């Protein structure tokens, strides 16, 4: 009689138990999806632990975003601190119909960073090392456009021109040149074909260069 007859139909064989255990372990180890909207709602209700969770989740990335704009780590840290204070105070004003909760959080930090650049003449001067500083944030052959995103040269004009772009295209530009995502990562995040994302960014950068002059 074959050894297979010792097992009821559908019962995993011993040689397969290791694979089964690994599959279960992989499933259990997957981290839960962070609920930004619920976290903002909790902040609006005065739950300080919610703000702490948000800081742990996005603090480092927000710092990276702000630092790319202001080019100063100490100033960036101060701005991120102020951003979380504003998020805490203004969480109740977040409107889901106007965009994602995570997008709103990042917009708060970007707004404060751009204000800091606009109000501090130190950051108006163009540094020769700017291209090297931003090289990691420029992907797939768009180095020719990096000067468009020196926020310090004319931050008010850049911001006004960005507002003229369609929201989805504006977000693609932010993801590429502020958040530092590759085109492939952007396509995955917004659920659009890679070719479409590349075209959106190319056309948006052309429009921005013409707008900024």
Buried/exposed code over 122-153 (b: 16+ C-beta within 10 A; e: otherwise): ebeeeeeebeeebeebbbeebeebbebbbbbb
Asked if the model's pLDDT at residue 16 lies above 60, the reply is no
From residue 52, alpha-carbon distances to 80, 87, 91, 109 in Å are 13, 12, 14, 16
Domains belonging to the chain, first-starting first, are: 36-123 (1.10.1740.10), 136-213 (1.10.10.10)
Q: Tell me the per-residue pLDDT of 108-147, one tens digit each, with 9 for 90 and over.
A: 998 888 888 777 644 344 443 443 343 333 333 333 344 4
Q: Which helix (H) or strand (E) holds 161?
A: helix 155-163
Better pLDDT: 91 or 103:
91
Range in 44-58, 118-132, 146-160 with the lowest mean pLDDT: 118-132
pLDDT band, very low/low/confident/very high, at 105 (cuts 50, 70, 90): very high
DSSP-derived secondary structure letter, 146: G
pLDDT at residue 41 in the model: 95
User: How far is residue 106's CA from residue 115's CA, in Å, rounded to a whole number?
Assistant: 14
For residues 190 and 196, what is the distance between their CA atoms, to the nearest angstrom? 11
Q: What is the pLDDT of residues 188-213, one digit of tens each?
A: 888 889 889 988 988 888 888 888 76
What are the pLDDT digits (tens) for 63-85? 888 888 888 888 889 999 999 99
Cβ(158)–Cβ(212) below 8 Å: yes
List the structure tokens of 64. Answer: 């990276």
Flag whether pLDDT at 25 surpasses 80: no
């Amino acid at each position: 009689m074959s050894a297979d007859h010792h097992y009821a139909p559908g019962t995993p064989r011993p040689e397969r138990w290791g694979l089964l255990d690994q599959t279960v372990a992989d499933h259990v180890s997957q981290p839960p999806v962070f609920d930004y909207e619920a976290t903002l709602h909790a902040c609006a209700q005065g739950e300080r632990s919610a703000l702490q969770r948000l800081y742990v989740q996005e603090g480092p990335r927000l710092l990276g975003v702000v630092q790319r704009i202001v080019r100063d780590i100490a100033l960036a840290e101060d701005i991120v601190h102020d951003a979380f204070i504003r998020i805490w105070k203004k969480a109740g004003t977040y409107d889901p119909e106007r965009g994602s909760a995570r997008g709103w959080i990042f917009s708060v930090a970007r707004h404060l960073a751009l204000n800091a650049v606009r109000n501090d003449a130190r950051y108006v001067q163009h540094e020769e090392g700017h291209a090297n500083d931003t090289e990691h944030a420029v992907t797939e052959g768009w180095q020719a456009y990096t000067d468009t995103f020196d926020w310090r040269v004319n931050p008010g004009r850049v911001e006004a021109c960005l507002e003229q772009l369609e929201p989805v295209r504006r977000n693609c530009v932010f993801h590429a040149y502020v958040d530092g995502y590759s085109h492939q990562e952007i396509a995955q995040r917004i659920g659009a074909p890679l070719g479409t994302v590349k075209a959106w960014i190319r056309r948006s950068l052309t429009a921005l260069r013409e707008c900024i002059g």
